[in-house]
Amino acid sequence: MHLNPSSILGYLVVCLVCVVHNVRANPHLQLGPMLGHVGSHEARIWVKASETARLSVIFSQQPSLEDGRQIDGLLLGDQSDHNGHIQVTQLNPETRYYYDVLLDGVPCLTAPYPFFDTAPSEGKSTHLRFAFGSCVGREGKFAAAAWGEMAVDPSIQMLLMLGDNHYADSTVPEVQRAAYYDHRSVSGFRDLAKRTSVYGIWDDHDYGPNDSDRTAEGRQSSLQTFQSMWANPSYGEAHNPGTYYRFSYGDIEFFMLDDRYYRSPNSAKEDGTKTMLGKRQWQWLKQGLKQSTAKLKFIASGSEWQKNGHRDSWSSFKREQLGFFEWIDQENIEGVILLSGDRHFTGGYQINQRIIEVTSGPLGSSNFPTRNLPEMFLNHGEGKLYCVFDIDTRHEVPKVILEVHQAGEGMIDRRDFTMAEINGKARLATLPVRPARSTVSPGASDLPLIKRENFESGAQQWTPTDPNAWRVIEQDGSKVYSLHRQSKYKPTHRSPFNYSLLNDTWTGDFDLYARVITTQRDYGHRSMCLFFGWQDPEHFYYMHLGQKTDDHANQIFIVNDAPRIKISTRTTSGTPWDTEWHTVKIKRRVASGLIEVYWDNMEDPIMIAEDKTFVWGKVGLGAFDDTGNWDDIQLYGVEIKRPE
């Protein structure tokens, strides 16, 4: 048969139409599957299709999906950009199910099929390992290392994403979806999410602009997008929309909060109406906590709970923040652990020596290390970080273990918590808190300021007896002078083994201030020393801050070409060393021979001596054979030339 050119062209057009029709008739899976809520009798699965399609799922207890049951779900249409989720019901507790996703009835996956394990029945004792984190970064690739490590850890059963799950900084649905897709396209996340239940709440960057609140224009659109993109068990309440919800895993319960939709501006006045959660969400939370019989109750918020937080945290909502802590005490709510994100570091707190909070992140964002804060027991600020709680309630007393993971390094910290610590009946050891530099004011002496040293530029002004024992290090966000090891220096006479002197500075009368922290383990003779009137290695004074007092400890001493001799006429029963920074002061007046030592309280001396042997000399820092760090040195006095 002969076809003319026009016939051939028409034939090709028909073929092209058929090809296009066939492509459109076979949509494919662009993203997902991502497991959402997996309860004891149901599971939810999120996907994104390439185009409009009917979502279905087939599932079975057989790896081959033999005798599988199929459930048809919603139409993934243009309005949602072809993404959404489906609910699988009538499941058995503690059972493994294999599954495949279908679009318009066509299977999308191939064997081996992914699977999920349903939760135990509500109230049943169980073992659960769940990961949690926040702050994934502005591009999906930034969190790839963290997702990759989680994806190869089959012990992780659940992932809680605590806000800043993308950085669209917009309420526009198209902008938010593009940010979600970027992060969910990372291979590690896809591998993790198809077999691990993923739960989400939001914070400012994935709700709207930075630090956004209920005044954000388009917040309703943000909520609709969130509901489409997350397969959570629920979203707010029937008459109170939001992203908050509650679910159980055996006898462990989770309360996931919405800290943005009803939030007052951070700068609003505390007039009795300023709120983070809104009235109805507060009622829901408190009622749920009072009703709960769970042994452990995790309460998750995008914003940090602790009392020394930054502006965009619960610290800007003091009435609700402190009121909630008081309410937990009044109602004797036990087993509560607070979770949060946002801060780009990982920290742990025991708030009011009562409630444990763990802030986890960043999964992919840049780090924002912080100095140790009051009530903090854990502080990690480097690398891509996430946490894992390992909970076992099958014992008479539940076992609660926190792990801190850094991508590329594995587990970098591990903490076991007793129920007494969780319930505030036992105190956790907190990290040392470095006081603000301004606590010793320039007017702290009636003498002129000679030297001020914070070691930010190094320790060139100091000469140690053993250079290998001293170094400048970073601590709590600033540089400190660290006596980090025992010294090989051997003094001529019995006296401290390790010290560093301020160069070329000789004084008579002086006031010397310093901040000090011991890094030595707790034992009876833990101590640090300050030196003054130093003329040479055989002639000087020093004061010894010892944990216990005797004739050779916690006194003022003189070394005068002989072993040290106590000269103090007054001292305390011991210096109360702990794991925090302390301010010490020496006051010296040559004419009267007065020597006074102060500890934290600059009004009442803890040691007094009177001696006129050395009327000039250098000052220095050190110890016998212990270790510790020094900072914020201030020397007031009259500088003199060294006498010949």
The string of pLDDT tens digits covering residues 287-314 is: 999 999 999 999 999 999 999 888 899 9
Q: Are 86 and 56 in contact (CB under 8 A)?
A: yes
411 in a domain, yes or no?
yes
**Residue 430 domain flag:** no
Q: Are residues 65 and 129 in the same domain?
A: no
pLDDT tops 80 at residue 76: yes
Dihedrals phi, psi of 342, to nearest 5 degrees = 80, -30
The pLDDT value given to residue 22: 45
Residue at a domain's end among 71, 86, 118: 118
486/587 same-domain check: yes
In the numeric block, which tokens belong to residue 39? Answer: 């309860």
Same domain, 457 and 597: yes
Round to whole Å and give the CA distance between 414 and 378. Answer: 10
Q: Answer yes or no: do 634 and 594 share one domain.
A: yes
Distance from C-alpha of 253 to C-alpha of 289, rounded to nearest angstrom:
9
Please report the pLDDT score of residue 434 as a whole number: 62
- 74 and 162 share one domain: no
Phi, psi of 626 (to 5 degrees): -95, 175
237 located within any domain: yes
CA distance 139 to 153: 23
Q: Note whether residue 23 is domain-resident.
A: no
Q: Which two tokens stand for residue 412?
A: 């970098």
CATH code where residue 111 lies: 2.60.40.380
* Structural domain span for residue 500: 448-640
| Statement to judge: residues 229 and 108 lie in one domain | no
Percent of the chain with pLDDT strictly greater than 70: 94
Picking from 118, 143, 167, the residue at the C-terminal end of a domain is 118
Whether residue 291 is contained in a domain is answered as yes
Same domain, 461 and 569: yes
At 120, the pLDDT band (50, 70, 90 cuts) reads: very high
**Do 470 and 376 share a domain, yes or no?**
no
Q: Is residue 6 in a domain?
A: no
Q: What is the CATH number of the domain that holds 557?
A: 2.60.120.200
13-72 pLDDT tens trace? 444 444 444 445 589 999 999 999 999 999 999 999 999 999 999 999 999 999 999 999
Kindly state whether residue 586 falls inside one of the protein's structural domains.
yes
Q: Answer yes or no: do 371 and 492 share one domain.
A: no
Same domain, 164 and 198: yes
From 118, 153, 178, the end of a domain falls on: 118
- In this prediction the pTM is 0.69
Query: Are 195 and 114 in a shared domain?
Result: no
Cβ atoms < 10 Å from Cβ of 420: 11
Instruction: Please give the share of the chain, as a percent, with pLDDT higher than 90.
Output: 82
* Structural domains counted in the chain: 3
CATH number of 313's domain:
3.60.21.70
Residues 237 and 337 occupy one common structural domain: yes
Residue 92 lies in a domain: yes
**53-60 and 96-103 beta bridge pairing:** antiparallel
Give the mean pLDDT of the chain. Answer: 92
